[in-house]
Structure 1
Amino acid sequence: MPETTIDSTQLSGLELLRTAMTMPDRPPFIGDLVGMEIEELEHGRVVFALRTRPDFANPLGTTHGGICATLLDSVMGCAVHTTLEAGVGYTTLELKINYIRAVPVDGQRLTATGSTIHVGRTTATAEGRVIDEQSRLVAHATTTCAIFRGSR
């Protein structure tokens, strides 16, 4: 079954994300690979969650740091995206992550929150946090994104 296409030139970033994530035949996204669930999509703030699983393991048997990195890059980038006008794109320029604690691969629910700090004409910055089921900080990060406004 072909995916429905969305005209990103007609929808703001927030409208595009809300539309895409609620479509029954929505376009695929990185979250499908790791089982991300979208919990909140607001202007400048998003919340995604997932459950750890055995195939997320690093050689030490705990959740690989790339899982938190993917969560953080996703929530921070999408937080920036929610603030952009129709037809405006972005990409991650820089991602800085601090890992605080190891997470088991036994189905722990990790929740990531991303919030914008600054959205300018050509760059944006955002911050993110991942917490576990006990509300303990697992990792936190910042990002810088390039904004592509085209010729106006």
Structure 2
Amino acid sequence: MTTTDPREMSGLELLRYATALPMDERAPIIGDLFKFSVDELEEGRVVFSLPSDPAFANPLGSLHGGACATLLDSVMGCAVHTTLEAGVGYGTLELKVNYIRTVPVDGQTLTGTGTTIHVGRQVATAEGQVVDASGRLVAHATTTCLIYR
């Protein structure tokens, strides 16, 4: 990367740059609210994790499905973003989530992986999965993103 101007960075460069900045030097993002950790950023693949924090509980006392949906939307969308050239954006058109098992809010780490399936000129698709600390599948999803050129 030869620039610090976000408008001149590829999607992958922008994500690497932005996630390396201290929180007080960048605008807040959804990952801050959910305490995301950025574990891997590669072209077409990203891995984020989050704690199953009691603050994310549903009325039954287990992890709210929205936490996994947010993690999945983030890793799949960012996987798409890593493939885009400078100045090109995207937005989620569709998100389909399948929940596999209940997750306790005991602080265990959940890991979400997003991988692109197809990135075209106007539309991209990606898939994602969330596993618990034991590697058991918690949820999986697919997305369709509109690419803004």
The TM-score bracket by the shorter chain reads over 0.9
Matches of 1:57 and 1:23 in 2, distance apart? Answer: 29
Q: C-alpha displacement at 1:126, in angstroms?
A: 0.1
Partner of 1:18: 16
**Whole-Å Cα distance in 2 between the matches of residues 7 and 147 of structure 1?**
21
SS in 2 for 1:9: helix
> Tell me, which stretches of 5 or more residues in structure 1 are unaligned?
1-5
Higher alpha-carbon deviation: 117-126 or 21-30: 21-30
Correspondence 1:29 to 2:29: yes
Structure having the larger proportion of residues in helix: 2
Distance of 2:88 and 2:65 partners within structure 1: 30
- SS at 1:121 equivalent: coil
* CA-CA distance at 1:139 after TM superposition: 0.1
Q: Which moved more, 1:70-79 or 1:49-58?
A: 49-58
Q: How does 1:50-69 map to 2 (within 5 A)?
A: 50-69=50-69
Determine helix, strand or coil for the equivalent of 1:35: coil
Output one character per residue of 1:109-136: Cα deviation in whole Å (capped at 9) or x when no partner.
1000000000000000000000001100
Q: Which structure 2 residues correspond to residues 127-138 of structure 1 after superposition, within 5 A?
A: 127-138=127-138
Quote the Cα distance in structure 2 between the aligned partners of 1:42 and 1:11.
15
**In the alignment, residue 17 of structure 1 is paired with which amino acid?**
L
CA distance, structure 2, for counterparts of residue 65 and residue 8 of structure 1: 33
One-letter amino acid of the counterpart of residue 101, structure 1: R
Deviations 1:38-68 (A, max 9, x none): 0000000000001111111111110000000
Counterparts of 1:98 and 1:7, CA distance in 2: 38
TM-score, structure 1 as length reference: 0.92
Letter matched to residue 117 of structure 1: I
| Backbone CA RMSD of aligned residues | 0.9
Task: Give how far 1:137 is off.
Answer: 0.1
**Which amino acid letter does the alignment assign opposite residue 100 of structure 1?**
I
| Alignment map for 1:31-110 (pairs within 5 Å) | 31-110=31-110
Q: Do 1:20 and 1:27's aligned partners in 2 also have CA atoms closer than 8 Å?
A: no
3-state SS of paired residue (2:98): strand
4+ aligned runs moved over 3 Å, structure 1: none
The Cα of 1:23 is off from its aligned counterpart by 1.3
Rounded Cα–Cα distance in structure 2 between residues aligned with 1:86 and 1:92: 19
Alignment correspondent of 1:3? none
Query: How far apart are 1:70 and its partner, in Å?
Result: 0.4
Give a deviation string over 1:64-106, Cα, whole Å, max 9, x none: 0000000000000000000000000000000000000000001
Unaligned runs of 5+ in 2: none
Does the residue aligned with 1:76 lie in a helix, a strand or coil? helix
